[in-house]
A = this chain, B = another copy of it.
């Protein structure tokens, strides 16, 4: 890659271009497909996971467990030991979700037969993907747990839930996502830690097609119950949408607009539009979390996560002032949430013309994080995210304050002050 030597003027113009491209997106849910069919470049022996990629030997916690679980789930190995050997030898490969037009929740582990949401911007044909939500049980592959119960649920998702959702979404001719997000922001969602309203609105779109196309049998009843009883069900639709939108800016020369933020077990990393697929990495700061009863700070550990794509497109922590009910779930105060969103206007390039925050007089959410503004102000993105148990499982939720270094480093590369 060449050294860019972007001037401030070039950067400003490029940022306007990048953000305009993102805002032009009109993403729609168009299908649910196995990852192998949906993701460009996906293979049967590829396992995707969250964050800037690490060597297999560096994964030690929840991501390692989930990757091994996925290898067994796909029948790539008969035992965890065999899977480990194949991962060391490279016969099973671990790749970053973000390189496959995909994002993953927590461990983000996505393998060939797992069904993903397909979200498409009709005008450009650009697509973003994310696994179908795995349910609210604390034990799930998403949260680094692999056991017989997790296996059974994944099979139900693949064999029952996904085909029925796919048929419904297709028969509905797709479901536009921008209006759902707009409506949910008016009903107390931040679209990251809280998706209660968006899930209900999506349900209104899908229940009719689900029944009409699949018939009202026992399996359809299970599907409807799953959709109506999991308040975070919409999260993965929103994540695929975020990826679809953010991709519009990728590769805009000179632009310092953030196109990805992601966590592995060990690192926080970002990409900016002007440096394409390069990751800028740092260690992970502490998560200020409200934990479920009986869980202490010693019990939790990072195991990755790319739901930060919601913050990348102005939601989650950036839209904190829309979601005061999160106090119950992830802690904080209403005043703090208002201050969080207000601070985010200082590091973003625009205000979304459709996604609005009632408390702020329907001001648009702060949209398009600009690494140059982060570097200039020292204010970094505020991120709403789930906490995970060291040994696997969902532990609570809280606020993560992104580290400053990756934003500074990205800017230095754009300005030719560091090796590109």
| Chain A residues in the interface with B (C-beta under 8 A) | 186-188, 196-197, 200-201, 203-204, 207-208, 211, 216, 221, 224-225, 228, 324-325, 327-328, 333-334, 358-362
Contact = CB atoms under 8 A, between A and B. Distances in A.
A362 B204 contact: no
A216 B208 CA distance: 10
Contacts of A204: 200, 203, 228
Contacts of A221: 208
B358 A325 contact: yes
6 contacts: A186-B325, A187-B197, A187-B325, A197-B200, A333-B361, A334-B361
Nearest to A196: B187
A185 to B, nearest CB: 9
A361 B197 CA distance: 20
A324 B196 contact: no
A216 B188 CA distance: 32
A288 to B, nearest CB: 18
A327 B252 CA distance: 38
Contact of A334 (B203, B208, B359): B359
A185 B324 CA distance: 11
A197 B361 CA distance: 20
A188 B182 CA distance: 13
B197 A327 contact: no
B359 A359 contact: yes
A324 B323 CA distance: 11
B188 A328 contact: no
Given A200-B204, A216-B216, 15 more contacts: A186-B325, A186-B328, A187-B196, A187-B325, A188-B188, A188-B197, A197-B197, A200-B201, A207-B207, A207-B224, A207-B228, A208-B224, A325-B358, A328-B362, A333-B361
A328 to B, nearest CB: 7
A162 to B, nearest CB: 21
Given A201-B200, A208-B221, A224-B208, A358 B187 contact: no
